[in-house]
Chain A
Amino acid sequence: MKDKKQITCDITVIGAGFAGMVAAARASDLGLKTVQTGNSSHLYFASGLFDFLGVYPLGSRTPIEDPRTGLELLQKEMPDHPYSKTSLETILKSFDFLARFLHSTGLNYVKPDKDNRSVLTAAGTFKPTCMMPETISKGGLLKKDTPLLLIDFKGLEGFCAGQIAAVLKKNHPYIFTLSVEVPGESGNLNPTYLATLFEDSSFLKNLATQISPFSNKVKLVGMPAVCGINKSLDILTRLEKMTGLDIFEIPMMPPSIPGLRLKNAFEKKLAGNHVHFLSQTKITSPQFNGSEFILNAVNQNMETQIRSKGIILATGRFPGGGLHAKRGCIQETVFNLPVYQPDERSLWHHLNFFEKQGHMINTAGVETDIVFRPVDTHGAVIYENLYAVGTLLAHNDWVRLKSGSGVSAVSAVTAVNDFYKKNTAGL
């Protein structure tokens, strides 16, 4: 027999991924009584970089330098894209809000300036992004002739200094590599465990003594993004002081520590903002009684009935569970909203797996009006206070356009703002 509980709130955020977190952050920041539900967040998979718009048009091989010019073009050519429902100003404001919110938790992000930045990845390639943690941002100091030391750790999978150096060699001739052995560890090394080691000062000292011999040869040090889970910037600064070198982190394969830092930061601050978080819950049988939504949030031992005026649906796509691919069609899993999708299954994917234009299924999702309320096939709003945000939105091939965080942030902030505007006038 499960325990039963009832709660009422202004707004319920369904989903604990990036979009859900931003929505909950915005809602609680505005003073709305917020409930958030979701399972373990996919933020663990997030690189920690916030993209605005890295590539345009689709299939272009060179990243765009200024996202604003790309945005102008996109808004003209793709009227259905979520960015076309909003403005540059709103997008920048959303990023601003996000930076402020994260800063208050102690996680410093470098705010977006005019141009995209290229960030070195664990593959040795560069990725255009807009906003990044301060621990990664010093990678921007890497110029063509900068002598660089790349560090990897023995046993840490998915990060090899030698491999990055080999890729970079063409444009960056002065690269040294160092493979650090972690004392007492002979087998596989997990990034999370390694990151906790960084919080131990004797480990840090040991590492500094291994880096120091290079201080005459190099100016910049790149290392995998495992520099502590908490207070990573402090730790990095200490390491810089010990070695007298500039050090930056290189984002790596999941599980990603910058993603974990982001997750922790959100969770900590949202708890402080009194967001009621129902972890590991699934929403079953949602109902609308004319004035409010009645949701059942179920987990292994608890069944919570939520009565909520508004809902932000931030359930993500297929991995997150927001969309479900059945044999014949794609369904939205919570409200069974109409999903924009190819007419038949055979059209879901292009015959060429690496097709530059992407696959049809990548644009499937929920269609909305300009404040991100889902609409039916005739374009009519389905529920006055139901919003869909993040990757769930249709016409949004965020992976190829490198626009995931931007779409999520702007849609979440816009939706919450709209709900707030409409519902606080009468309060």
Chain B
Amino acid sequence: MFQISLYTALGLSIAGLLFRIYRFQKKGSSGTLKLKLSLNLKPAFFNTIFQSKLFYASKTRWAVHFLVFSGFIYLVFFHALDEWIAFNLFQSYQPTLDPFQFLRDFAGFLVLIGCSGFLLRRILNTWINPDNTTNYKGLFPIILILLVMGSGFMLETIKIISEPVFLEMVEDYSDIDEDTDLDHLKIYWETHYQVRFKKDILITEEALEHGRRLNTDYCLDCHSKIKSAFISKALATQLDKPANFLNYYRADNWLYPIHYLLSFLMLVSLPFSRFFHILLIPFASAQQKMTVRHFQEKAVSIHPATFSACTNCGLCSAVCSVYPNFLITGNKQILPHFKIESARKMMAVAHLNPKKLNQLQLGNDDCTLCHHCTDICPSGIDLQGIWQTLPQTLHKMGYPDNYTFVKDTALQERENKEWEKEQADRAYDLTQNLTGRVYSFENCVQCTVCTNVCPVVAYGGNDNDMTPQQIMNLLRLGKKQTAAGTRMVWNCLTCYMCQEHCPSEIKVADIIIELRNISNQTTDSLKIMGAADKADK
């Protein structure tokens, strides 16, 4: 049973791992993400073993995480794999001997504390930030760890109080065959090892002393005092009353498979859940090479696997320089930990909601490449590189930045569209609605003073299409959407020369900025509509 499930779990886990690697490779070779591996051992080592980046990012989080990490590592090597490691390293190793008995409980205790910390943060975060879409993301691994720990402690407790287990051990490891001897050992174990026996046995000083001697002869080599297993001992005390019931039904035989099956579940889910970060963070940390030198040498590379190293801890968003933009626009896709999640999904699923993709483009457009998120990322993900390659990917999918879109769209396409009604209100929330009020541009006499002082017009080039005074004329002709779609509106430097010089006191620059706002809104709609059309075909 144990062997079968172990090998099944191992097989599934390895197959899953291979599947993920295959997918990463495939994505890496196609698409815009360049597959280029590098190996930076130093950050990989320190970030894996000591979570150095998390330490710099947040001491509290590091402390909590390190509790889980250290406890877990100990349990894996000295408890789960004891047959291969502990028994070979220490000749006198026995799971029930101190210090191993104590350390096992202690490690479990650390993991429990850490996981509670994880849970607590999620609960607190839900209070602080009402948006909880990412808060519950990593919940499965935490609950699984808690279940494994819980079942482990319960198993140990049940074994402690179990009479049948005691009897089996006596059978196997001693040559006691007299009832009185057995009774005396029972007395000693009941008082010092908290085994609960069905029948009460009269305790006497003499019997206890004899039991102690028997214990020294047969048991002490492998059994330290139970008090060092401080959690299980405490639990055993609590289970005093249902002890007989549990012993009768051999609860230990039930709990053992539960415990190891849960552990195997962990193994199987390794490539498919948050657990994967255990393997991906060393990888991502080894990939990180975004120094100024690399930047200049254009050696920027993103491996798709690094996307999955993200644990959605949200530290990046806390330091994001354009966080205020999020507060104003409410676009979550400005924040790094949302962006990377969307980008990961975009890579995995061909069709994502056009609105969401557009939001992602807009959000990523706000990024100033300040490097804060990359600096703080505890997973060591090269976030900067992702933000830089993302626009190309989005452009290919039909979501270029608005300026490019305006340049590539014929003015005629903006006419005869019916978005204006729904778009209008939103755009005008942010503006004075100069373009909607005739008096703001009706005084234009087309004198071309604005055009004459405009540095964009003076620079010329093939890029510009209309001049400021022509834009005012479009407004006078009632062609607001056409005016909003001109390149001039987007090329404007907002130097205000036109407005300063206008003899008719028209707020030319203010109007142009307002038109750009309107254009921004309509361009979003055009993009989403265009992408939806493409998807239909």
Contacts and interface: CB of A to CB of B under 8 A. Distances in A.
B504 A190 contact: no
B504 A319 contact: yes
A196 B460 CA distance: 14
Given A39-B505, A185-B460, A255 B500 contact: no
B447 interface: yes
B457 interface: yes
Nearest to B467: A188
Contacts of A372: none
B502 interface: yes
B503 A190 contact: no
A254 interface: yes
B503 A41 contact: yes
Given A40-B502, A44-B501, A187-B460, A254 B447 contact: yes
A190 B447 contact: no
Interface string B145-170: 00000000000000000000000000
Nearest to A282: B505
A191 B447 CA distance: 12
B24 to A, nearest CB: 51
A193 interface: yes
A378 B449 CA distance: 43
Contacts of A40: 449, 500-503, 505
Contacts of A255: 447-449, 452
B453 interface: yes
B447 A45 contact: yes
Interface string B428-469: 000000000000000001011101110001101000000100
Contact of B447 (A44, A185, A321): A44
Contacts of A276: none
With most chain B CB atoms within 10 A of its CB, the pick from A45, A187, A255, A279 is A255
Interface string B191-212: 0000000000000000000000
Contact of B503 (A45, A185, A192): A45
A297 to B, nearest CB: 15
State the main secondary structure of chain A at its contact with B.
loop
A279 B457 CA distance: 25
Nearest to A254: B447
Contacts, number: 46
Interface string A107-136: 000000000000000000000000000000
A238 interface: no
A291 interface: no
Contacts of A280: 500
Interface string A235-271: 0000000000000000000110000000000000000
A42 interface: yes
A190 B452 contact: yes
A41 B453 CA distance: 14
A379 B500 CA distance: 39
A42 B457 contact: no
Contact of B453 (A45, A188, A192, A254): A192
Interface string A364-379: 0000000000000000
A44 B449 contact: yes
Contacts of B505: 39-40, 321
Contacts of A321: 505
With most chain B CB atoms within 10 A of its CB, the pick from A185, A191, A319 is A319
Contacts of A191: 452
Contacts of A44: 447, 449, 501, 503
Contacts of B501: 40, 44
A239 B504 CA distance: 36
B454 to A, nearest CB: 8
A227 to B, nearest CB: 16
Interface in A176-216: 184-185, 187-188, 190-193, 196
Contacts of A184: 460
A42 B452 contact: no
A193 B447 contact: no
A40 B499 CA distance: 9
Given A254-B447, A255-B447, A255-B449, A190 B500 contact: no
Contacts of B448: 190, 254-255
Contacts of B452: 190-193, 255
Interface in A316-368: 319, 321
B446 to A, nearest CB: 10
Contacts of B453: 192
A42 B458 contact: no
A42 B503 contact: yes
Contacts of A185: 460
Nearest to A184: B460
Nearest to A191: B452
A319 B503 contact: yes
Contacts of A39: 503, 505
Nearest to B502: A40
Nearest to B464: A187
30 contacts: A40-B449, A40-B500, A40-B501, A40-B505, A41-B503, A42-B503, A44-B501, A44-B503, A45-B447, A45-B503, A185-B460, A188-B467, A190-B451, A190-B452, A190-B457, A190-B458, A191-B452, A192-B452, A193-B452, A193-B457, A254-B447, A254-B448, A254-B449, A255-B447, A255-B449, A255-B452, A279-B500, A280-B500, A319-B503, A319-B504
Given A44-B501, A45-B503, A280-B500, 6 more contacts: A41-B503, A190-B452, A192-B458, A193-B458, A255-B449, A319-B504
Interface of B: 445, 447-449, 451-453, 457-458, 460, 467, 500-505
The 7 lowest CB-CB distance pairs between A and B, nearest first, are A192-B452, A193-B458, A190-B452, A42-B503, A40-B501, A255-B449, A255-B452
